[in-house]
Structure 1
Amino acid sequence: MARYAIATEDKQARRKAILDAAKTLFLAGDGTLPSAGDIANASQLAKGTVYLYFRTKEEIFSALLAASLLDSLKELESVLSELKGRRADKVASFIASFVSIIESRPELLRLDAISYGVLEKNLEAETMLEVKREFIIALSHTASMIESVMKISAGRGVLLLMRTFAMTRGIWQASQPCDIDLLDEALALPVLQPVFHTELTEALNEYWRGALAS
């Protein structure tokens, strides 16, 4: 049993080293996916070892995205378990924590932006379905906690979360740097390139207050 435990720990450590190296390289790069060879070098593992854990580089980054999403949901559940007081206060605290969690994981939205066009198209169907299944289970659990804490009907929590993620994606994309030199000064308005943290917080507060009041 002891040898099996050590072997399992070694495998988990190698897998984590691969994902950590992939994240570091991706965030330092130009948005394209680093090669498996670069990830192997950065994780101080042989390229063949990397392929023992992941069949393709897309699978590596799909796993990284999945881990980031699942960890975010776990953090949100921790926040939800501590919420007290009026619903309005709970909503404000929840959204502030949500924005903070998203900002603490810069890889999440960058990988999400290429998930459909790059990652999923290069995944085996079985792998993609397993990733989605795990996410749906976790999302449903978090949604149930939202329904309990906010005292809303069953099914509303999933809608709130999915729409929250959709708004987050859109605002993040709108907030990305653009070449102001190519724009007429009269068009270079803050609305064309909002500050992500501020705009997301305000937009989600407006949405949640309206949704929960209806």
Structure 2
Amino acid sequence: MKTRAISSDEKQIKRSLILSAARDLFLADDRQLPAVATIATQAGLAKGTVYLYFSTKEEIFLALLAEEFSGLLSSIHRCLSLLSSTKKPNKKLKQELAKELIATVTNYVQSHPEFLRLDAMSYSVLEQNLSDDFLYAFKFELTRALVDTGKQVDLIFALEAGRGVTLLMRTYALMRGLWQSLDYPDHLQQLLAHKMFEPIRPEFHTELRAALGEYWSGALT
């Protein structure tokens, strides 16, 4: 008996189901990665079907992280496209453009709570259990999108070639560092609940906006 060939659209639908299920499970408990069997059940698929698309659970979650990076860079790209001008920006206009870009970044991070949690796991958990081919493909696509967006930053802000990539990489480093510094586990949050500990537990998104604002203001001066 012949089985019906699965179309590329059907494959994409199943892949999306797997990633959506993994995202929902991760948001419910973002301190650990759910098993492939749990993801399959959540997606309404057989465990074997999941393995047709991903070899390990780490591949699933790195694919999710890739989607998050793509979403962030696409949001920046759309923001910059709206801000494009035929005029060469002066100092004041550059600062105004930077505020719009920073708002785009912080709003995206706030509306995608899984992003930085997955990113925090990328080096220590996800990338340690991946094939070189899968990891290379992830890094290649991320670098390509970063360079393309960096070129757009160069154009909009009238910067020397390559400066935009540097600004975006440092923005990411600031974001990642703040997240890891302020991402206290539940028991430590309770331990530091007293008012005296407020200086070391500022609200992350407020701190991120302030830090990026100060960085871009200085970098564009």
Question: Is the TM-score greater than 0.5?
Answer: yes
Deviation track 1:35-77 (CA, whole Å, cap 9, x = no partner) reads 0000000000000000000000000001000111111111110
TM-superposed deviation, 1:175: 2.7
Aligned partner of 2:133 in structure 1 is: 126
1:22 and 2:22 correspond: yes
1:58-207 to structure 2, matched below 5 A, reads: 58-83=58-83, 86-177=93-184, 179=188, 182-183=191-192, 185=194, 187-189=196-198, 191-207=199-215
Cα gap change, 1:199 to 1:46, in 2 (>3 Å): same
Counterpart Cα distance in 2 of 1:118 and 1:71: 22
Deviation track 1:150-181 (CA, whole Å, cap 9, x = no partner) reads 11111111110011001001112233245255
Counterpart Cα distance in 1 of 2:16 and 2:219: 39
Counterpart Cα distance in 2 of 1:170 and 1:27: 21
Counterpart Cα distance in 1 of 2:121 and 2:41: 24
User: Is residue 54–residue 60 contact of structure 1 (8 Å, CA) maintained in 2?
Assistant: yes
Secondary structure of the corresponding residue to residue 153 of structure 1:
coil
Give me the CA root mean square deviation.
1.8
User: Is residue 102–residue 213 contact of structure 2 (8 Å, CA) maintained in 1?
Assistant: yes
Q: Which has the higher contact order (CA 8 A, sep 6+)?
A: 2
TM-superposed deviation, 1:137: 0.1
| Structure 1: unaligned runs, 5 residues or longer | none
Q: Where in structure 1 do 4 or more consecutive aligned residues deviate above 6 Å?
A: none
Aligned partner of 2:218 in structure 1 is: 210
Deviation track 1:75-117 (CA, whole Å, cap 9, x = no partner) reads 1100011115711110111101110011111111000001011
User: Is residue 180–residue 188 contact of structure 1 (8 Å, CA) maintained in 2?
Assistant: no
Counterpart Cα distance in 1 of 2:79 and 2:193: 44
Amino acid at match of 1:34: P
TM-superposed deviation, 1:184: 9.4
Aligned length: 209
Secondary structure of the corresponding residue to residue 114 of structure 1:
helix
